Structure 1
């Protein structure tokens, strides 16, 4: 952590819509929260011109350690955690905005071990996952029996791989269930779209990526919303035989083509403000 009275230096990886939003928040409001921009990196540096001071633009992730960031925030692609996660955790806390990376068990294990070894925190933001802390508490107590996350968006809001992309295009004019099954198998097919589901698998650690179920729906009628339905099942009461259940629906204002809904931007900023160093472990924020 940054020393007392010293600004906490934030590095941002990714300068898409969410990266630009977080960069601007640190630039405008950072001083109020004891934050300072350490660097911004993007695969296409031209996108930062006129928006990020030249001295704050990081040309290569291999030079990351030189910027002495206290927290590195990834909002680019799961490949960042796969290739650089261990190295980042040697020098700073690491907030992984693309937790679909952890569907690969080796990536998950290596990042957790790097956090433990170097005493830095591996953060996973809840993002669009409503009730993430409650799900985690149930997992901690061993009372979480099942979890299903259904995400419905306009077809243009999906960036898919392989047969899912083919299915979406073939059924573009109609509501289509693109996938239903375990979260782990979906992550590599929709790495930019199902981070909410991956965060659910992290929160529901007693079930994990193989037992948390998900459903991905392309719905052309959803012109104004991203919809996330959460279904939680808990223990059965012995006396009554009734099972504890929770169902929630989150309708996030959005437009066709937008990967991230409007309310999720504020959720990410809240997560950044919560990343104050929680020791060498994974922490849901």
Structure 2
């Protein structure tokens, strides 16, 4: 039975914790949250499962650590996690930092562990990866449309978002690498796409972020893939994913189950970086 440690106890962390406790194949190793009172008083997590210091993860003997907190956790503790066991990074926007990405890849190879990136709301991630492996992936654009209240952003993007009152506003259109630090909580799907499309990477994959006040019930993710020319025509695939979501929700409802499925898949692939 695999032991899973959960880092972060927001809505997604709570969902995963309960799903693991109800699973016949997984065991909860620990739960960590920045606000300890939420675990000890409100959630009433058993005291032996509450980890107060992320530097003590090895003492709980996890087989997999799942981060669903904030990219800053991976910046500070990601290398250590990969020394301990496999690591699933729920905030893969952190990997847009090339130095961190290189360090984590090196640490995974050094200790024989897997760095797993959940596909989240990305539809067709495995197909994108296969094309990247063959070098036939020529272009990839991921468009995310959400209600203005679903964005956790600052600076110029926040100012643009405030204009989306009566009509949709494009907050950003360009390389995913530059977008990730501007909206680290909202574009993990784009980061997952950049990992899958490894021949294009964070600089080659395009991201388009749209604030749309008409989307009161959905998050919409559009994935546009371009392949090689064949018989004078370019290969193309376009998908549209409509994920039910309440106004103000950062993650759509279907993403929770997707994350748990990724948790089940995040093992057994050896050392390296893997989409799951």
Shared fold (TM-score, shorter chain, > 0.5): yes
TM-score by length of 1: 0.94
Match of residue 3 from structure 1: none
After TM superposition, list the pairs within 5 Å mapping 1:171-250 onto structure 2. Answer: 171-237=164-230, 240-250=231-241
Is 1:255 aligned to 2:246, yes or no? yes
After TM superposition, list the pairs within 5 Å mapping 1:1-285 onto structure 2. Answer: 7-29=1-23, 32-33=24-25, 35-48=26-39, 49-51=41-43, 52-237=45-230, 240-285=231-276
Q: Is the 8 A contact 1:120 1:277 kept in 2?
A: no
Question: What is the DSSP-based 3-state SS (H/G/I as helix, E as strand, rest coil) of the residue aligned with 2:156?
Answer: helix
Q: Which sits farther off after the overlay, 50-59 or 136-145?
A: 50-59
Provide the C-alpha distance between the structure 2 equivalents of 1:120 and 1:54, rounded to a whole number of angstroms.
Answer: 28
Question: What is the DSSP-based 3-state SS (H/G/I as helix, E as strand, rest coil) of the residue aligned with 1:188?
Answer: coil
Question: What is the DSSP-based 3-state SS (H/G/I as helix, E as strand, rest coil) of the residue aligned with 1:123?
Answer: strand
Provide the C-alpha distance between the structure 1 equivalents of 2:129 and 2:38, rounded to a whole number of angstroms.
Answer: 37
Provide the C-alpha distance between the structure 1 equivalents of 2:268 and 2:185, rounded to a whole number of angstroms.
Answer: 26
* Structure 1: 5+ residue stretches without partners: 1-6
* Structure 2: 5+ residue stretches without partners: none
Deviation above 4 Å: which 4+ runs of structure 1?
none
Match of residue 4 from structure 1: none
Q: Is the 8 A contact 2:148 2:164 kept in 1?
A: no
Q: Is the 8 A contact 1:19 1:75 kept in 2?
A: yes
Q: Is the 8 A contact 1:103 1:187 kept in 2?
A: yes
> 1:172: how far off?
3.5
> 1:50: how far off?
4.1
Provide the C-alpha distance between the structure 2 equivalents of 1:88 and 1:223, rounded to a whole number of angstroms.
Answer: 38
> 1:81: how far off?
1.1
Say what the alpha-carbon RMSD is for the aligned residues. 0.9
> 1:192: how far off?
0.3
TM-score by length of 2: 0.97
Provide the C-alpha distance between the structure 2 equivalents of 1:280 and 1:242, rounded to a whole number of angstroms.
Answer: 39
Provide the C-alpha distance between the structure 1 equivalents of 2:258 and 2:164, rounded to a whole number of angstroms.
Answer: 32
Aligned length: 274
- Residue by residue over 1:43-92, the C-alpha shift from the partner in whole angstroms, topping out at 9 and shown as x without a partner, is 11122234221221111112111111110000011111111111000011
> 1:276: how far off?
2.0
